[in-house]
Amino acid sequence: MKTMIWGLAALAFVALAPAAAQPPTAYALPASAVHEVVAEGARTYKLYVKTPPGYSRPENADRRYPVVYLNDGELFFLVASGAPLLSYYNRAIEEAIIVGVSYAVGEDPIASRQRDLTPVADGAIKNETGGAADYLAFIAEKVIPLVERDYRADPARRTLAGHSFGGTFGAYVLLTAPDLFANYILISPALWYADHEIFREEERYAADHRALKARVYMATGDLEGPKGGLKGVDLANDQIAFGAKLRARNYDGLVLRDEILDDGVSHSTSFPSGFLRALEWLFPPP
């Protein structure tokens, strides 16, 4: 009898005890999706896609949107998706689809970006470098077709955006396949890479071309050079020199805006403000 009483008491205690606390759910980014794409050589990349607030509204069912393709997706996709929201709500800029491209799945992020985003090999860097041509082919042949098949993307208004080595890659694409994108956002581009290889790339392009049809926005922080204590590299003055070189060519069709972000902007803080300023310039309200 005692055993039965204790058993019933235990059951009652279990019934009355509060349920074990469930862990809180993770935040999910609204109107977003993740796609996996396999590149030549069996490397896999993730595409993080964010559609803007008006994308699913019935009145926009036939509307096509500009798309911003963004390198370093793990670092900058959330910033790029969130930064324009207030501007959208205030109707200060046109809405756009944001596509962040990840690093190669399963690889060290630094090694992945150093390979994919650099135009030529540089023995001064221990990881593999110089894979920009293959990465560009992946973007052109796999990423863009998927986005333009599955989303209401406007092929005439593609934008390529990147920071640091991502900006170097953007400059490389501008000078080797400029027609692939209408717009380029180059934030703190590492133009110093491989003894300023991008400057030589521009010289090769200029030897055979009089036109460069693109809108290009460049921005670098005022602390990304000697003013910020950097030694050996000067991103701010490199950008100024590159912008001056592009203007001196007087390329037909090139529209360039370049600026140094002042009041203490470092390499770590240049992307959010530069990116939003670029969107305001490239996509004024319709």
pLDDT-wise least confident of 2-16, 41-55, 204-218:
2-16
pLDDT above 90: residue 6: no
- Give per-residue pLDDT as tens, 232-259: 899 999 999 999 999 999 999 999 999 9
Tens of pLDDT, residue by residue over 47-56, are: 999 999 999 9
Q: Where do the domains of the chain lie, and which CATH numbers do they carry?
A: 27-282 (3.40.50.1820)
Q: 41 pLDDT band (50/70/90 cuts)?
A: confident
Mean pLDDT of 61-79: 97
Three-state DSSP string of the chain = CHHHHHHHHHHHHHHHCCCCCCCCCCCCCCCEEEEEEECCCCCEEEEEEECCCCCCCHHHCCCCEEEEEECCHHHHHHHHHHCCHHHHHCCCCCCCEEEEECCCCCCCHHHHHHHHCCCCCCCCCCCCCCCHHHHHHHHHHHHHHHHHHHCCEEEEEEEEEEECHHHHHHHHHHHHCHHHCCEEEEECCCCCHHHHHHHHHHHHHHHHCCEEEEEEEEEEECCCCHHHCCCCCCHHHHHHHHHHHHHHHCCEEEEEEEEEECCCCCCCCHHHHHHHHHHHHHCCCC
Look at residue 46 and tell me whether its pLDDT is greater than 70: yes
pLDDT at 11 over 50: no
Q: What is the mean pLDDT of the chain?
A: 93
Residue 16 has pLDDT above 60, yes or no: no
pLDDT of residue 17: 52
The mean per-residue pLDDT over the stretch 51-70 comes to 98
Q: Using an 8 Å Cβ cutoff, are 152 and 64 in contact?
A: yes
67, pLDDT greater than 80: yes
The pLDDT of 3-23, averaged and rounded, is 56
Q: How confident is the model at residue 8 (pLDDT cuts 50, 70, 90)?
A: very low
Q: Give the pLDDT confidence score for residue 7 in this predicted structure.
A: 47
Q: Average of pLDDT values for 104-123? A: 98
Q: Is residue 285 scored above 90 in pLDDT?
A: yes
pLDDT of residue 21: 84
Average pLDDT on 88-107 reads 97
Pairwise pLDDT comparison (12 vs 265), residue with the higher score: 265
pTM of the model: 0.92
Q: Say what the pLDDT of residue 254 is.
A: 98
Has residue 101 got a pLDDT over 90?
yes
